[in-house]
């Protein structure tokens, strides 16, 4: 019953400091383990096996696109495990008045040339899609971390889901940026032979 469902689209952008290379920022987004741990509500996660439909050829973009109904605009690249789509079961602690605080979701991760795309299937029919990209800002060429967000769920819980997304994104972006800066500084010190700071 589509009149009970609602969609919300938003975008969150954070500048990436000078000294961070674009390829390093993209590589960090391809690190799913790190990304999962950036969520402030994360309790645990496990890798899930490929479904029967993609088990025979997990590196086939065409097979993955058909089975997982990936957006036509998404241009996947095969991840480090040889699969187009990496699957995870994630348990988050989300205190709220509607459902249990321990929420189990199934998450689909797809790497693309500029970053990563994630689709989250949560209880009560909540589907959250985020496309994470590292791009050069028009005009000055400085790098930005861009998170495009699409929420699809019941109108009854849209306010809660949207509120959690709005509350969480600054902290997640901060953790990503801090890791990029730390890694860039460590790389510079290693290149000059200086000992890393304790």
- Global pTM reads 0.89
> Edge to edge, what strands does the sheet with 5-15 contain?
5-15, 143-154, 126-136, 115-122, 102-112, 85-93, 42-48
Residue-wise pLDDT for 75-110, tens only, equals: 999 988 899 999 999 999 987 666 668 899 999 999
Domain 2-188: top CATH class: alpha beta
pLDDT in tens, 39-81: 999 999 999 999 999 999 999 999 999 999 999 999 999 988 8
Least confident of 48-52, 132-136, 137-141: 137-141
Rounded to the nearest angstrom, the gap between the alpha carbon of residue 19 and the centroid of all alpha carbons in its chain is 23
Taking a C-beta distance cutoff of 8 angstroms, is the pair 35, 191 a contact? no
**Looking at the predicted structure, is the pLDDT value of residue 128 above 60?**
yes
Please, are residues 126 and 157 in contact by the beta-carbon 8 Å criterion?
yes
Please report where in the chains the tokens 């987004």 appear, as a residue: 29
């Amino acid at each position: 019953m589509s009149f009970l469902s609602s969609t919300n689209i938003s975008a969150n952008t954070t500048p990436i400091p000078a000294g961070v290379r674009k390829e390093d920022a993209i590589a960090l987004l391809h690190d799913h383990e790190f990304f999962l741990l950036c969520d402030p509500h994360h309790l645990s996660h496990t890798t899930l096996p490929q479904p029967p439909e993609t088990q025979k050829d997990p590196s086939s973009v065409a097979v993955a696109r058909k089975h997982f109904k990936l957006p036509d605009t998404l241009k996947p690249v095969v991840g480090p495990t040889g699969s187009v789509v990496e699957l995870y079961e994630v348990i988050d602690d989300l205190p709220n008045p509607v459902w249990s605080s321990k929420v189990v979701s199934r998450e689909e991760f797809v790497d693309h040339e500029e970053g990563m795309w994630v689709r989250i299937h949560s209880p009560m029919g909540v589907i959250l899609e985020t496309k994470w990209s590292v791009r050069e800002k028009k005009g000055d060429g400085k790098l930005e971390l861009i998170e495009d967000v699409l929420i699809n769920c019941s109108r009854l819980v849209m306010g809660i889901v949207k509120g959690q997304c709005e509350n969480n994104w600054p902290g997640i972006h901060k953790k990503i940026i801090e890791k990029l800066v730390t890694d860039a500084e460590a790389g510079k010190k290693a290149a000059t032979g200086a000992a890393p700071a304790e």
